[in-house]
Structure 1
Amino acid sequence: MTKSTKYKLLHHLKFLKSIGYSYHEPITFISNEINGFNLPNNLELLKNSVENCYLCELSKSRKNTVFASGNINAKIMFISDFPGSLEDETGKIFVGKTGELLTKMIENVLNIKREEVYIANILKCKPINTSSLSNEANLCKSYLFKQIELVKPKIIVTLGENAYKYLTNEDVNINMLRGQTINYKDMVLIPTFHPSFLLRNPSSKKDAYVDMLKIKNQLESLN
């Protein structure tokens, strides 16, 4: 059975579950399986799995999957929520104005090249309706958990409220949480604003700058 056939079968099983059938145990953090299928212990092979994923309806509307970018041995990992239209067109993560701002946040404050960090999304496909993505996130984040397992970052930075919520299953206000240092699965987790929010709300850039200074201190403490 090919991987493509397996994922199509898995999509059908997901439909059966949605109408009341039960056929597997819930997914746990950094599981080696996604709904019963082993995930590869290699980022290139994992990327191929994502490109051939049919777990949710987003696979029907996407132009490209958006996997990740950066150093696979990075000490710090930035996690956003989902790709936008430009990412969907190009298959590249954080391009356009949001990508330019994220690059400035990393290079001007952390004083490291963007290529030295690892950047990934909760969702690997662009959503059509962003108001409710819990089902898609619960399926897709197993890929992210595997990325975390393979990259082994010491610090995780979540960008925006949704990224934190979908990663941790905690629904909180980003304004109350941003900049805090949180112990998460033996890693340091620091939430901050999403660059797209900062583009719409320039007055919050000073708060994001303070968050990035805290991230810099954490990063320097690892050396």
Structure 2
Amino acid sequence: MEAIGTTAARLLCEVPQGRVTAQSLNSIVNSDSTTLMARLDDETLAAAQALAVAPLPTLEPCDRDHFNQCLRVMLAVLPKRNSDDVSGKLLISAYQKKLGGYPTDQISYLADQATAKCEWFPSIAECISLMQGWKRNDDPVHVRRRAETAVRRELEARMDETMARLAAGQCDQTEIDALPIRWKEIAETRSYLWRHQDGTYTARVRRETAA
């Protein structure tokens, strides 16, 4: 298993240059549940957002030895519907051609599910159906989840701060215009903003009335 920082670096291969720095990246990938509660500056938030949307690296196909071992386990536990069918070696070869492109963990999942749930050795179509229940859970997924959590918490905190400033009449029109549309909609429901027919929003609470 590779270091989590290396994993994050691989995730960011497709991210436009200049959006993140080594310092902001490390603050995300090396964080734990406690530090994730800390506030993020703009640079670190950008890094977290980039990680949250970066495509996951493609997993390597299952190696032949592991695939053969999993199929042998299934053959040892599950009877074939037709005992006069092809030999185990030929069957494994046929299945390997159709299923060998799946990652190692997913093939292991197939063997576990088949031996636990099937009464007969599954067809290739049944194997594919069984594998649909597999969920990827490797380091890149963990990094993405950590980044998603950091982004969600920071944006929630920033929205709460903005709502407090709107309630106190402390936001000028330039700030209001720059707010995300969802925040404007929420502020309208809380009676902090007016929504006009042209779709613009203006402050409903003025500093002097909030005092």
TM-score, normalised to structure 2's length? 0.23
Higher helix share: 2
TM-score, normalised to structure 1's length? 0.23
